[in-house]
Chains A and B, each alone.
Chain A
Amino acid sequence: MSGDPVVPDIDTLVHEPARLRLLTYLSLLERADFVYLLGQSGLSKGNLSVQMGKLSAAGLVQVDKEFVDNRPRTTYALTRAGRTRLARYRRTLAAILAALPRK
């Protein structure tokens, strides 16, 4: 049997809990740096770096590197594609949750 799935596919890039948390923070802010996201997300530096790398590679997040007071600072901002994809994920998840039986 084949055909279009009745239950829509979840965007796994967005759905992963750590990435979803990071994307949610970035959706609330204009931009945030690595240290801010580290403190807010509770992720380890390595994990945060990996997750932001994946989001950046997929074009959901824009990365800027600069020096402030002789210290390196990496800032992240959600791209337009990132906002669109997050909005689509929200709609998909809402549809799935609405279809689930309450009990």
Chain B
Amino acid sequence: MMSAAVDLQNRVLKSSWNDGLIDLFAGIGVLLIGLSWQFDLVPLGSIAPALLIPVWQPLRRRLIEPRTGYMEFGERTRLRLSRSLLTMIILGVGTLALGVGIYLYAAGGVPMAGVTVVAGLPAALIGLAALIAGNSFGIPRFPLYALVFMVGAAATILLGLEPALPMMAGGALAAASGALLLGRFLRDHPVIDEQAQ
């Protein structure tokens, strides 16, 4: 049985992601990777996450914290999040490596046995990362995105689609959902000045 303290910690953690910013960022990141693959700009996709990560903290400080406040998680939660983040980074790097591998193979024009299975793997890995993020961060929307990536991966394998398509579909869904949530959040949560009475 989950202890009351862990349950409370999980509820605090879960309430931290209601603004949709994480959905928007993750969605844009995956969408950019998918678009770069689609238009044969694979190296550009590799740097997309590196471009987004430095923007995250200042944007959160500017948009979210004046409305819902600032807090730092306790040590146990931070450790748990670090472990999940490391797993997601490994899965992300695996996805990019697969993408680059498929790109280089396709550029060589050599037919590869089982290439359709490999083409579905990037979306499957991103789906797995979304599932882990949803579970670790307590974001109920992420398992839904994971499902979209997994279905996309299966469709890519079965129908012989481009590997970029499920990435773009899942990324666009997460980004759109995040933009909607963020818009609602900004509308419903005015900036609070702690000194004004």
Partner-B contacts on A (CB < 8 A) = 24-25, 28-40, 45-46, 68-69, 71-75
Contacts and interface: CB of A to CB of B under 8 A. Distances in A.
Contacts of B69: 32-40
B68 A30 contact: no
A74 B195 CA distance: 10
Contacts of A39: 68-69, 192
How extensive is the interface on chain B, given as a class?
Answer: 20 to 34
Nearest to B66: A71
Given A35-B66, A71-B193, 9 more contacts: A28-B9, A29-B73, A32-B72, A37-B69, A40-B69, A46-B197, A68-B61, A68-B65, A75-B70
B70 A30 contact: no
A29 B78 CA distance: 10
A19 to B, nearest CB: 17
Given A45-B197, A46-B197, A28 B5 contact: yes
B71 A31 contact: yes
A72 B192 CA distance: 11
